[in-house]
Amino acid sequence: MKTTKENMTQNTQPYKGTRDFYPEDKRLQKWMFSKWREVCESFGYEEYDGPILEPLELYTSKTSEEVVNEQTYSFTDRGGRSVVMRPEMTPTVSRMVAARRQELGYPLRLYSIPNCFRYERTQRGRTREFWQLNADLFGIEGIEAEMEILLLTDRLMTVFGAKRNMYEIRLNSRKLLNSQIDKSDPSVEQQEVVRLVDKRDKMPEADFLSELKKLVSKPDQLLKFLDTKDISNIEDPAADGLKELLEMAKDNGMTNVVFMPSVARGFDYYTDIVFEVFDLDPENNRAMFGGGRYDGLVAEFGVEPVPTIGIAPGDVTLQNFLESWDLLPKLETETNLYVVLVGEVFEGAQKIVSKLRDEGVRVAVDMSGRKVGKQIETAVKKGIPYLLVIGEEELKSEQFKLKDLASGEEKEYSLERVVSTVLAE
RNA sequence: GUGGCUGUAGCUCAGUUGGUUAGAGCGCCAGUUUGUGGUACUGGAUGUCGUGGGUUCAACUCCCAUCAGCCACCCCA
């Protein structure tokens, strides 16, 4: 059978919206995830995981309608069940908490880094498979939970080298927003107004106003609220928590936490405090990720409610952020030593190599039989820092030529010195 | 789902008002007498010009469709 060029290109491309992770890409991902883990664990969050596949019902009435109806990868399994590949993690973790509602200790701190799938048109910052950190705090009703999540969010940015002038944490409250909507018109459908408010910055102001007038008979009260910059001007009991939270954030030196009445978030399950982390780079001015309180979700599984607040930063948006602020590190290969073989010494060299591995050196052996120059080129290409030459002479003398590939320096060492030199870095 | 832009070697691109053997740089491979790379020199491979159809004596260049990528909207990580 003839393989056509067309087939070749199709076969080597990853499926639309997914990414192949070659070693240099995977290194970056591992680096980001390890930072996420480091920060979460420093707050006492424990890692969990759940299945990629979930029954469709898990998402109906929990996630936003559009996400469930139009953006899921779904299929019917051989038993006739509707199955989806998880578009987000929150329903899964809520299900898990509900299942062991009584035996889990509260406050319960959980985090996970799941890959999620959404059938969407791809664009900057948006793929069809993505990873997101989900960190959730269960069992605390008070504003202290929000405060912890804000501190966590802040660290999740600064751990990557982000400065406070690079991003802003914008706070609002669904409860407050709904209360303000009620005041302007008690009969109005809150959810629709919330959605409209969420879109305000992205549409012409005139359109926003005319849309708003369709939904609210007396929009002036609401507009006044939306244009409020200083929360202390708002006299509404629903704003109390927010005021307290802003005060606490300020006391903790978080100068980039602000009140933003237009922040609403798309998911239906949020109940009170919501927030978004904004990239302040004018070239990439957008919400990177958000979070908020969703006190009702666990109770959807028929158990007593568990107050919950969580955040979910994504890998793609984070990477865009780090790129635009030049915060991506140069990551090197995990391998620290490349062994060049000269002559028929493969078997003899294995004993040396095993000793090196026993000492914790990560060694790759070139058994290609190519000339030394070619073997060195390969080591350089892979970015391996050290090179060890093993031939008949070395096996006899037990003295080895260790080459520092960056400087080009080469020295004769005993195996012991090889180990200590290579691991010194 | 809606709209805009783009699609020529692995990568970045050039390719004249359609004209007959499609180019450059980088990269890649090989060699410069066989145990040492990153410089230099020499040589080499690679593309049915995203795919399919149409117009034409002739298409990489024009038209249509399709796929893919990018960007914005929608939604959201």
Interval A373-404: pLDDT, tens: 989 999 998 889 999 999 999 999 999 999 99
- Interval A166-214: pLDDT, tens: 999 999 998 888 888 877 777 666 777 777 777 777 777 777 787 778 7
Q: What is the pTM of this model?
A: 0.89
Closest nucleotide to the alpha carbon of A131, via C1' = B77
Q: Is the CB of A371 under 7 A from strand B?
A: yes
**Distance in angstroms: CA A407, C1' B17:** 56
Q: Is the CB of A369 under 7 A from strand B?
A: no
Q: Report, in ranges, which bases of strand B sit under 7 Å from a protein C-beta.
A: 1-3, 28-31, 34-38, 47-48, 50-52, 68-77
DSSP three-state, residue A149 = helix
Which of A64-68, A117-121, A139-143, A162-166 bottoms out in mean pLDDT, i.e. has the lowest?
A64-68
Residue environment code for A119-133, b if the CB has 16+ CB neighbours within 10 A, otherwise e: eeeeeebebbbbbbb
Which residues in window 218-277 of A are less than 7 A from strand B by Cβ?
Answer: 265-267
Mean pLDDT throughout A105-128? 92
Q: Is the CB of A382 under 7 A from strand B?
A: no
Which of A10-19, A225-234, A263-272 bottoms out in mean pLDDT, i.e. has the lowest?
A10-19
pLDDT at A376: 92
- Interval A317-365: pLDDT, tens: 999 899 888 898 888 899 999 999 998 899 999 999 999 999 999 999 9
Q: What is the per-residue DSSP string for A162-183?
A: --TTTEEEEEEEHHHHHHHHHH
CA distances from A391 to A139, A199, A388 (A): 64, 69, 10
Mean pLDDT throughout A275-295? 87
In this structure, what DSSP letter does residue A314 have? B
Q: Choose between A12 and A59: higher pLDDT.
A: A59
Q: Is the CB of A342 under 7 A from strand B?
A: yes
**Distance in angstroms: CA A133, C1' B65:** 42
pLDDT for A49 beyond 90: yes
Which of A35-44, A88-97, A148-157, A192-201 bottoms out in mean pLDDT, i.e. has the lowest?
A192-201
**Distance in angstroms: CA A77, C1' B8:** 45
pLDDT at A1: 26
**Distance in angstroms: CA A11, C1' B4:** 29
pLDDT for A8 beyond 70: no
CA distances from A31 to A39, A113, A234, A330 (A): 13, 13, 43, 11
Mean pLDDT throughout A215-224? 79
pLDDT at A55: 93
The CA-based dihedral angle spanning residues A157, A161, A162, A164, taken in that order and rounded to the nearest 10 degrees: 100
Q: Is the CB of A209 under 7 A from strand B?
A: no
**Distance in angstroms: CA A381, C1' B25:** 21
> CA A43 to CA A152: how far, in whole Å?
8
Mean pLDDT throughout A70-92? 91
**Distance in angstroms: CA A23, C1' B35:** 31
Q: Choose between A276 and A219: higher pLDDT.
A: A276
Residue position matching structure tokens 């909507």: A181
Closest nucleotide to the alpha carbon of A393, via C1' = B35
Mean pLDDT throughout A57-62? 81
ipTM over 0.90: no
Mean pLDDT throughout A415-420? 95
Residues 6 or more apart in contact with residue A104 via CB below 8 angstroms:
A97, A138
pLDDT at A5: 35
Q: Half-sphere exposure of residue A208, counting CA atoms within 13 Å on the CB side?
A: 16
**Distance in angstroms: CA A239, C1' B47:** 65
